[in-house]
Amino acid sequence: MKVKIKMLGLAAAYLKEREFVELPQGITVEEMLSRLVKNGERRDLSLLKAATFFVNQEPAGRDTVLHDGDEVIIILHMAGG
């Protein structure tokens, strides 16, 4: 199946930049993330735990099952003080 990906904020620093990705049927947002992590990168990916997800412009969790044609938005903001 084909899914459209949009990465906002720091998400692009941790994930492969792609507009569309081919994924197996029934994959979850969490499983998709593991496929999008940049190969060979040994970064602390714990920041991705703070990411916010939208599927087809609706809030989504990591356990959300994706379908062909879905649009996934991944937002990772940096906050500090």
Confidence at residue 53, expressed as pLDDT on a 0 to 100 scale: 94
- Domain membership of residue 63 as a residue range: 2-76
Other residues' Cβ atoms within 10 Å of the Cβ of residue 6: 13
How far is the CA of 32 from the CAs of 2, 25, 79, 80, 81, in angstroms? 12, 11, 25, 28, 32
What is the per-residue pLDDT across 23-78, written as a single tens digit (0 to 9) for each? Answer: 999 999 988 887 877 655 555 556 677 889 999 999 999 999 999 999 999 888 76
CATH number for the domain harbouring residue 22: 3.10.20.30
End-to-end CA distance of the chain: 42
Residue 81, domain member (yes or no): no
Residue 10, domain member (yes or no): yes
Residue 11, domain member (yes or no): yes
Confidence at residue 42, expressed as pLDDT on a 0 to 100 scale: 54
What is the per-residue pLDDT across 6-24, written as a single tens digit (0 to 9) for each? Answer: 988 777 776 777 788 899 9
Confidence at residue 38, expressed as pLDDT on a 0 to 100 scale: 60
Q: What is the band of 79 on the pLDDT scale with cuts at 50, 70, 90? A: low
Identify the CA nearest to 15 among candidates 75, 78, 79.
Answer: 75
Q: Could you give the CA distance from residue 44 to residue 32 in angstroms, rounded to a whole number?
A: 18
